[in-house]
């Protein structure tokens, strides 16, 4: 399959690769001109505007809500409360993890920023003014914001709405073999244990969440434009929850200004806009602002991990175990396959070869916003990679061994693939050492270490951090994976028009990653139709086949496979039609890109465009071949794909201020063949910036009363170009053996792999002060405190 990359790809008349290659993004024609069409751009005649009243308290009983003054404000059309929703059976909704979540609070508020009432008015300003006229009688209750206190006997019970619930425990879950792991630890020469926090962070997409709902009172059809990464799954959930007939619901996900997992859940605001439209008979738009997005929509991580590693004195790893306390906030709103309540966390064994591993995860409710979404992470793999890559560095420090040498000693070897991990994953393919050597060569690893030694002697603190990660992306095989009972297979339809131009309909939704380009390239690669002649249609449930949506980097592994296979189906049909036109047997035909021709007589052939016309024209088609040139498939992946990579980060730390400067970042990714290398590099750039943000500055903190201290971009810091070095990217290409084009997902790789490299580099820099670990974010204050010997531990 490497040959794919090497083979020269013919160019179309427009200069685009007819197949894989660096094609400019089709969608940029509108994005770069500011002409994208986002939910907030939707304008409908008679449209009204919604706004949400949110709780100022993290925990309080609601004794009453007086909406009369708000209702009396001119321009207000409706004020909806939990009590109103109760009459419709909609005060509570299911989460994607089989929990329940309040749409509008009825009994209590359980986190600061929780939805309490929804105003519908003629303008968004009137709607916001009306919020101030709603009088809620709150009775404040003690709050628990610290997961470690959530299971204390005297902790307030948050979910007393659940019958018989007397504590804040959600679930216990385990993976791996406890006995074997304990035995390995009991006999180990070296054991290192560290408490490692992956703090709560937020996906913070550029576009916040929102929706426009229009329930047509005449036809009974609900049209919902909404910021969703999973339009089909959302439609089914609305049908199930609200009892609306599914064929009467059309979910449209237009251009989405970034998702990063934030737009996978169904939020109360979406439901309120629907109810608002039902109540008023008019379209209702609801768009949250930045503070609302940061305070109430799906957060990520919040994993308190106790990680232990056992090894020989020579550095051969023997076992790893992890104890996790997972903070889920007030409602368990995680979106992930049902069978795995802790997501894919049990991939924490990483990229190394050892026989025993075990983890157990205990999840708790706290008075914080719900979520636990897979922010640029295939269901908790970011936490897993961080745990193993941090503890391997701690082990290197303990053994006084170079961290690259320790990794090289333990990496899985190419002949071990397909490799089954001690916790049950089957890695499909990999040549890890090769990738690591490429990264080390690009970095000039030995010179960097020499430079570091020289600088240390002068009292300068330079650090080198490595992270080697393996991800499992492309959820997932139906036998193992569903969300709310919906299997994770994806449909794809392809229609070639009489003139040879095509439309491909996807079940997945793009939120910026370039599907309109890359899926056209996949079809071009299989059929030889120029990518500019192929329109990619997505994000509208009335016009696309069913599928579970875009997250966990699943589009290329699942829908990308579906697109390749549907094109191959069309190619097979085209062969039968070409044979009829050429008056020969299908077996006598040979394929070259864009054309079937007669074996041994290459002049005699039909191009795919000619075949398309034949398929719609007067040509007499063979027995059993229907007219037209189209096909559809539903693809159920046999396994996940396992992209991987090696990242090396170089930092300089100012010990006087704790300031970290990321000087270099080398990222070598292996995601199999790259459909569009330029898009892949863009994906990696974005993820690396994310990683710097999480490692060095992003944090949603809470005070003891549950007040959110990260509710604006003044407090919740995002990285800018100033904090990012010039990324140095490399690649190796190891195809997935089970994917039709060998491609693995890559959209989240850099976010998953980079935080550990940055933190490892910072700790390496300040290790002369005796520091072995400090928690993210490594802000100047936290680094300074770590240097002083009292790292901040949350």
Of 374-382, 527-535, 598-606, 775-783, the segment contacting ligand PCD by CB under 6 A is 374-382
- Rounded CA-CA distance 204/694 in Å is 12
Binding mask 37-66 for ligand PCD (x = CB under 6 A): ------------------------------
CB closer to ligand PCD out of 381 and 406: 381
Binding of ligand PCD by 518 (CB under 6 A): yes
CB closer to ligand PCD out of 21 and 113: 21
The radius of gyration of the chain from alpha carbons, rounded to an integer in Å, stands at 27
CB closer to ligand PCD out of 545 and 552: 552
Binding of ligand PCD by 683 (CB under 6 A): yes
Least distance in Å: CB of 311 to ligand PCD? 33
| Residue 400 CB contacts under 8 Å (≥ 6 apart), including other chains | none
- Rounded CA-CA distance 474/749 in Å is 12
Binding of ligand PCD by 233 (CB under 6 A): no
CB burial of 272-283 (b: ≥16 within 10 Å; e: otherwise) equals: bbbbbbbbbebb
> Which of 514, 530, 545, 605 touches ligand PCD by CB under 6 A?
514
Helix or strand run (H / E) with residue 232: helix 231-242
| Residue 354 CB contacts under 8 Å (≥ 6 apart), including other chains | 316, 317, 318, 319, 320, 410, 422
Of 497-505, 513-521, 660-668, 702-710, the segment contacting ligand PCD by CB under 6 A is 513-521
> Which of 16, 229, 421, 467 touches ligand PCD by CB under 6 A?
229
Q: How many CB atoms lie within 10 A of CB 338?
A: 15
Residues in 650-679 at the binding interface with ligand PCD, rule: CB under 6 A? 671-672, 674-676, 679
> Which of 49, 419, 551, 644 touches ligand PCD by CB under 6 A?
551
Least distance in Å: CB of 742 to ligand PCD? 8
- Rounded CA-CA distance 616/623 in Å is 16
Least distance in Å: CB of 178 to ligand PCD? 30
Of 51-59, 307-315, 506-514, 569-577, the segment contacting ligand PCD by CB under 6 A is 506-514
CB closer to ligand PCD out of 79 and 523: 523
> Which of 138, 185, 348, 375 touches ligand PCD by CB under 6 A?
375
Residues in 252-271 at the binding interface with ligand PCD, rule: CB under 6 A? 258-261
Least distance in Å: CB of 539 to ligand PCD? 13
Binding of ligand PCD by 680 (CB under 6 A): yes
> Which of 226, 367, 556, 708 touches ligand PCD by CB under 6 A?
556
CB closer to ligand PCD out of 308 and 507: 507
- Rounded CA-CA distance 719/691 in Å is 9
Binding of ligand PCD by 382 (CB under 6 A): no
Total of residues contacting ligand PCD (CB under 6 A) = 38
- Rounded CA-CA distance 16/320 in Å is 48
CB 517 within 8 A of CB 530: no
Of 90-98, 159-167, 316-324, 371-379, the segment contacting ligand PCD by CB under 6 A is 371-379
> Which of 554, 573, 738, 773 touches ligand PCD by CB under 6 A?
554
Helices (H) and strands (E) in the chain, counts: 19, 32
Beta strands in 628-692 (DSSP E): 629-635, 644-653, 660-670
Binding of ligand PCD by 562 (CB under 6 A): no
DSSP state of 551: -
* Phi-psi map region of 664: left, alpha, beta (phi>0 left; psi -120 to 50 alpha): beta
Sheet holding 601-607, edge to edge: 589-592, 595-598, 601-607
Residue 232: HSE in the Cβ half-sphere, 13 Å Cα cutoff = 22
Residues in 705-764 at the binding interface with ligand PCD, rule: CB under 6 A? 743-748
Residues in 172-201 at the binding interface with ligand PCD, rule: CB under 6 A? none
CB closer to ligand PCD out of 384 and 613: 384
Give me the residue label for tokens 């993820």. Answer: 687
Least distance in Å: CB of 264 to ligand PCD? 6
> Which of 513, 541, 732, 779 touches ligand PCD by CB under 6 A?
513
CB closer to ligand PCD out of 487 and 686: 686
Q: Residue 352's closest CA among 214, 248, 506, 468?
A: 468
CB 514 within 8 A of CB 27: yes
Binding mask 69-108 for ligand PCD (x = CB under 6 A): ----------------------------------------
- Rounded CA-CA distance 540/517 in Å is 18
Q: Residue 328's closest CA among 305, 348, 300, 306?
A: 300
CB 306 within 8 A of CB 67: no
Least distance in Å: CB of 501 to ligand PCD? 21
Look at the chain and count its residues: 794
Least distance in Å: CB of 434 to ligand PCD? 18
Q: Residue 350's closest CA among 399, 406, 292, 402?
A: 406
CB closer to ligand PCD out of 308 and 749: 749
Helix or strand run (H / E) with residue 367: none
Of 80-88, 104-112, 511-519, 653-661, the segment contacting ligand PCD by CB under 6 A is 511-519
Binding of ligand PCD by 509 (CB under 6 A): no
CB 201 within 8 A of CB 300: yes
Least distance in Å: CB of 444 to ligand PCD? 28
> Which of 235, 515, 525, 573 touches ligand PCD by CB under 6 A?
515
CB closer to ligand PCD out of 205 and 268: 205
CB closer to ligand PCD out of 296 and 511: 511
SS (H, E, C) 47-91: CEEEEEEECCCCCEEEEEEECHHHHHCCCEEEEEEHHHHHHHCCC
Chain centroid offset of residue 153 CA: 36
> Which of 62, 170, 374, 570 touches ligand PCD by CB under 6 A?
374
Q: Site residues (CB under 6 A) for ligand PCD?
A: 205, 229, 258-261, 374-377, 511-515, 518, 550-556, 671-672, 674-676, 679-680, 683, 686, 743-748
């Amino acid at each position: 399959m490497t040959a794919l990359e090497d083979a020269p790809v013919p160019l179309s008349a427009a200069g685009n690769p007819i197949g894989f290659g660096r094609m400019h993004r089709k969608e940029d024609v509108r994005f770069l001109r500011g002409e994208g069409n986002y939910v907030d751009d939707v304008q409908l005649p008679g449209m009204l505007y919604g706004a949400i009243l949110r709780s100022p308290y993290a925990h309080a009983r609601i004794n009453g809500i007086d909406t009369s003054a708000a209702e009396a404000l001119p321009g207000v059309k409706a004020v909806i409360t939990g009590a109103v929703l109760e009459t419709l059976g909609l005060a509570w909704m299911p989460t994607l993890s089989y929990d329940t979540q309040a749409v509008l609070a009825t009994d209590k508020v359980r986190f600061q920023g929780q939805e309490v009432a929804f105003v519908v008015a003629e303008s968004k300003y009137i709607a916001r003014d009306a919020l101030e006229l709603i009088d809620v009688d709150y009775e404040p209750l003690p709050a628990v914001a610290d997961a470690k206190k959530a299971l204390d006997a005297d902790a307030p019970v948050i979910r007393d709405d659940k019958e018989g619930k007397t504590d804040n425990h959600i679930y216990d879950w385990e993976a791996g073999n406890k006995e074997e792991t304990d035995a390995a630890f009991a006999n180990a020469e070296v054991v290192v244990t560290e408490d490692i926090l992956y703090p709560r962070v937020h996906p913070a997409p550029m576009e916040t969440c929102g929706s426009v709902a229009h329930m047509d009172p005449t036809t009974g059809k609900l049209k919902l434009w909404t910021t969703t990464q999973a339009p089909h799954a959302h439609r089914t959930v609305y049908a199930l929850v609200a009892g609306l007939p599914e064929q009467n619901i059309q979910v449209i996900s237009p251009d989405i200004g970034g998702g990063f997992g934030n737009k996978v859940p169904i939020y109360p605001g979406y439901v309120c806009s629907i109810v608002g439209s039902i109540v008023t008979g008019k379209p209702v738009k609801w768009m949250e602002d930045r503070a609302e997005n940061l305070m109430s929509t799906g957060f990520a991580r919040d994993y308190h991990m106790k990680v232990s590693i056992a090894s020989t004195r020579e550095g051969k790893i023997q076992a790893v175990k992890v104890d996790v306390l997972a903070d889920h906030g007030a409602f368990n709103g995680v979106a992930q396959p049902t069978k795995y309540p802790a997501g894919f966390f049990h991939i924490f064994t990483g990229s190394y070869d050892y026989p025993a591993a075990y983890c157990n995860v205990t999840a708790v409710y706290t008075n914080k916003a719900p979520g636990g979404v897979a922010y640029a992470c295939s269901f908790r793999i970011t936490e897993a990679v961080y745990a193993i890559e941090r503890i391997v560095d701690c082990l290197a420090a303990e053994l006084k061994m170079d961290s690259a040498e320790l990794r090289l000693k333990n990496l899985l070897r190419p002949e071990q693939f397909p490799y089954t991990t001690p916790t049950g994953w089957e890695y499909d393919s990999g040549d890890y050492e090769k990738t690591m050597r490429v990264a080390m060569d690009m970095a000039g690893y030995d010179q960097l270490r020499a430079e570091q030694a020289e600088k240390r002697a002068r009292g300068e603190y330079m650090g080198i951090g490595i992270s080697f990660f393996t991800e499992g992306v492309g959820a997932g095989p139906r036998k193992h994976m569903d969300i709310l009972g919906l299997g994770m297979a994806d449909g794809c339809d392809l229609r070639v028009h009489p003139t040879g131009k095509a439309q491909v309909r996807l079940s997945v939704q793009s939120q910026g990653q370039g599907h309109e380009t890359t899926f056209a390239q996949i079809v071009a690669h299989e059929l030889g139709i120029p990518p500019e002649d192929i329109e990619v249609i997505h994000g509208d449930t009335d016009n696309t086949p069913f599928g579970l949506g875009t997250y966990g980097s699943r589009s290329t592994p699942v829908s990308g496979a579906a697109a390749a296979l549907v094109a191959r189906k069309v190619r097979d049909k085209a062969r039968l039609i070409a044979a009829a036109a050429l008056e020969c047997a299908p077996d006598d035909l040979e394929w070259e890109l864009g054309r079937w021709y007669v074996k041994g007589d290459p002049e005699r052939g039909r191009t795919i465009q000619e075949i398309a016309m034949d398929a719609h024209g007067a040509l007499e088609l063979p027995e059993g071949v229907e007219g037209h040139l189209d096909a559809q498939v539903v693809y159920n992946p046999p396994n996940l794909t396992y992209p991987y990579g090696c990242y090396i980060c170089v930092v300089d730390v100012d010990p006087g201020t704790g300031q970290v400067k990321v000087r270099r970042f080398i990222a070598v990714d292996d995601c199999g063949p790259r459909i569009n290398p330029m898009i892949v590099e863009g994906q990696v750039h974005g993820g690396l910036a994310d990683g710097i943000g999480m490692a060095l500055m992003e944090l949603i903190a809470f005070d003891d009363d549950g007040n959110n201290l990260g509710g604006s971009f003044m407090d919740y810091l995002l990285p800018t170009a100033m904090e990012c070095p010039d990324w140095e990217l490399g690649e190796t290409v190891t195809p997935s053996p089970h994917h039709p084009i060998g491609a693995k997902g890559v959209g989240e790789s850099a976010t998953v792999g980079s935080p550990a490299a940055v933190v490892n580099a910072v700790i390496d820099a300040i290790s002369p002060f005796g520091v072995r670990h400090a928690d993210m974010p490594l802000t100047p204050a936290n680094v300074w405190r770590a240097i002083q010997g009292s790292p901040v531990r949350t």
